[in-house]
């Protein structure tokens, strides 16, 4: 069974009705991304996922990566599959044409990513870092060195990493110790150790570049003393990186066994400063925001793939019924139906969250230079932490529910859902944990303009949904009011210290439920129920709508309850 063909139908439906692809193609920027071309692209990606990425995922999970004589070797025929994937142009799908990309909208890239990551999340990690690094470097294309690298990155011949974390500096990047000093020739030399670096070395490409955060001389303490540096690996004939870069070890992880997570050491490694000294974090955000959007697509990918695998198993697995009659497929049992409906509702809404966020950023790009562009950009950035956080968590939740549907078989390696659950668990940790995303949402995205952008979004939702009937229409006004009340409470000046921060995660979840209701409403209004996909979609969304307002009220209460009186202390460890 090729579940990815079935995913393509849903992706195209949502691209039309959530991302409004037709409206994007009216712009000169995306005129070539017509529905027919995108449909063919999804069909091609679905076929590649089934024929190449699924077998590689199974093999890669069992074999893992190896560190031999200083080199990282990927499992199976990863290099061959990567070259075939690149020949199809998928890694560069949404990269600007100015840097040899295909110039398709981000929402189309997210749709294709959902197909590839739903088949093989570890393989997709290589695509994400390459694409996002290219976007970051493209903003500094005046450098001759960077200009020379962009075609290789866009084609997939050159890989890239993002090197931030250190043993003492995880989310607290202001404590980074890796140092950069400027040489007499104007270049920089970097020394230090980095960990949690995905694909810091591998044999899928001939060389790798690293975007490294390091401390600049005479810089301020904290994040203002950091610079972002381009450090080429400069592999020699033996495959070893020669620019003072060595891989000390590979981490042994719960999942993503085919994606090497490396501890990397730099010793007097030559690098080029990107942007200005002391503004490394700002330069890095050009890469971090697309990566967070990619994580949202990862969550949607696993959720949808797991739901379809669980459905297929439930239809094929006969159990129960009258002892004198043949057993019935477990899909007919009410509790299994409940689980499947919950899985499909969450999966479809995660997909909608990913595509809606991407399309807002696409619209800003399509309207570049026009007055509305800034508002669409702000709306897209407002949704980014919600999309990253909720989709990452939903991906794991749906995969876990899928294991439950399969019962004992779900806990074995005979079926891919247990691997999906292990692989996607990291998504709510890397590229900013859920707690970090919640603080970013509250303090920067909402607090930065005192909630103005969020209130504009509520007005847009009210305007778009007014007068339309769906399973969500009755709860939308209540959800908008709950969010307004929570916003007003969190923006009070006289709140006790830590009170708003304690409610940040709940506030993000409350905001996400409103977006879910908006997306669910849009999907219900668009679905006619004439196809098997649309019938399943409507049933799942109606099931979800029944509980959504009650769940929102719980998150509203948690947003306002503030800090608990109890504090964990050293004595609690005894």
Q: At what angle do helices 106-119 and 35-48 cross, to 10 degrees?
A: 20
- Cα 138 to chain centroid, rounded: 21
**Contact in structure between 180 and 188 (CB atoms under 8 Å):** yes
Burial 373-398 (b: 16+ CB within 10 A, else e): eebbbbbbbbbbbbbbbbbbbbbbbb
Instruction: Burial-class residue 304 by CB neighbours within 10 Å (0-12, 13-18, 19+).
Output: buried
- Cα 447 to chain centroid, rounded: 24
Tokens of 114: 């959902």
Residue 218: how many CB atoms within 10 A of its CB? 7
Among 541, 553, 551, residue whose Cα is nearest residue 481: 553
Tokens of 89: 């142009």
Report the alpha-carbon angle 23-5-403, nearest 5.
110
Q: How many residues does the chain have?
A: 574
Among 275, 5, 285, residue whose Cα is nearest residue 132: 285
Residue 329: how many CB atoms within 10 A of its CB? 16
Among 48, 192, 185, residue whose Cα is nearest residue 124: 48
Rounded CA-CA distance 563/550 in Å is 23
Q: Scan for tokens 């809606």, then name that residue.
A: 356
Tokens of 448: 């930065």
Rounded CA-CA distance 210/201 in Å is 10
- Residues whose CB falls within 8 Å of the CB of residue 273, separated by 6 or more in sequence, listed in order: 180, 188, 227, 228, 229
DSSP 419: H
Estimate the share of the chain in helix, then strand, then coil, as percent rounded to the nearest 5. 60, 10, 30
Question: Quick check: is 431 catalytic?
Answer: yes
Phi-psi region of 100 (alpha: psi -120 to 50; beta: other; left: phi over 0): left
Rounded CA-CA distance 137/148 in Å is 11
Beta-bridge mates of residue 163: 212
Among 121, 147, 118, residue whose Cα is nearest residue 134: 147
**Contact in structure between 307 and 336 (CB atoms under 8 Å):** no
Catalytic residue, candidates 431, 459, 464, 534:
431
Rounded CA-CA distance 521/524 in Å is 5
Among 424, 116, 126, residue whose Cα is nearest residue 255: 424
Between β-strands 179-182 and 188-198, what pairing exists: parallel, antiparallel or unpaired?
antiparallel
- Residues whose CB falls within 8 Å of the CB of residue 39, separated by 6 or more in sequence, listed in order: 8, 12
Q: Which residues are catalytic?
A: 431
């Amino acid at each position: 069974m090729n579940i990815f063909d079935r995913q393509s139908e849903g992706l195209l439906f949502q691209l039309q009705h959530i991302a409004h692809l037709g409206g994007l193609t009216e712009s000169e920027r995306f005129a070539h991304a017509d529905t027919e071309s995108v449909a063919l692209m999804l069909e091609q990606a679905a076929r590649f996922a089934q024929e190449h990425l699924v077998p590689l995922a199974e093999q890669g999970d069992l074999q893992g990566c190896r560190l031999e004589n200083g080199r990282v070797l990927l499992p199976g025929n990863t290099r061959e599959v990567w070259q075939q994937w690149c020949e199809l142009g998928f890694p560069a799908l949404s990269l600007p044409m100015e840097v040899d990309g295909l110039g398709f909208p981000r929402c189309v890239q997210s749709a294709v990513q959902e197909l590839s990551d739903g088949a093989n999340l570890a393989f997709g990690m290589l695509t994400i870092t390459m694409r996002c690094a290219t976007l970051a470097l493209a903003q500094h294309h005046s450098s001759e060195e960077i200009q020379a690298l962009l075609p290789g990155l866009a084609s997939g011949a050159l890989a890239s990493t993002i090197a931030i974390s250190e043993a003492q500096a995880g989310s607290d990047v202001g404590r980074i110790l890796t140092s950069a000093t400027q040489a007499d020739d104007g270049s920089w030399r970097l020394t230090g150790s980095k960990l949690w670096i995905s694909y810091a070395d591998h044999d899928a490409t001939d060389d790798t570049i690293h975007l490294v955060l390091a401390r600049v001389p005479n810089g301020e303490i904290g994040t203002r003393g950091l610079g972002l540096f381009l450090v080429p690996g400069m592999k020699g004939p033996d495959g070893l990186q020669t620019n003072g870069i060595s891989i000390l070890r590979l981490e042994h992880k719960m999942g993503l066994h085919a994606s090497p997570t490396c501890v990397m050491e730099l010793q007097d490694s030559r690098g080029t400063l990107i942007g200005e000294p002391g503004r490394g974090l700002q330069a890095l955000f050009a890469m971090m925001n697309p990566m967070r959007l990619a994580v949202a697509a990862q969550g949607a990918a696993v959720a949808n793939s797991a739901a379809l695998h669980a459905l297929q198993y439930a239809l094929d697995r006969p159990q129960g019924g009258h002892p004198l009659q043949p057993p019935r497929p477990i899909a007919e049992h009410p509790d299994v139906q409940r689980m499947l409906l919950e899985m499909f509702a969450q999966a479809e809404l995660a997909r909608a969250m990913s595509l809606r966020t991407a399309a807002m950023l696409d619209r800003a790009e399509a309207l570049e230079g026009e007055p509305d562009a800034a508002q669409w950009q702000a709306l897209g950035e407002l949704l980014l932490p919600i999309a990253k956080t909720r989709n990452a968590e939903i991906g794991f939740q749906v995969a876990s529910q899928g294991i439950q549907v399969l019962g004992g078989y779900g806990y074995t390696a005979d079926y891919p859902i247990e691997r999906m659950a292990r692989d996607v668990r990291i998504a709510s940790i890397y590229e900013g944990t859920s707690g970090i995303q919640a603080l970013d949402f509250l303090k920067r995205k909402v607090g930065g303009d005192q909630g103005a952008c969020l209130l504009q979004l509520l007005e847009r939702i009210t305007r778009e949904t007014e007068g339309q009937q769906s399973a969500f229409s009755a709860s939308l006004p209540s959800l908008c009011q709950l969010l307004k009340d929570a916003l007003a409470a969190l923006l009070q000046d006289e709140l006790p210290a830590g009170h708003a921060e304690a409610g940040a995660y709940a506030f993000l979840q409350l905001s996400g439920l409103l977006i879910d209701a908006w997306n669910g409403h849009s999907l219900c209004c668009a679905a006619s129920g004439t196809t098997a996909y649309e019938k399943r979609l409507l049933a799942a969304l109606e099931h979800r709508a029944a509980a959504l307002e009650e769940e929102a009220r719980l998150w509203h209460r948690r947003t306002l309850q503030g800090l608990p009186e109890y504090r964990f202390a050293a004595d609690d460890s005894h």
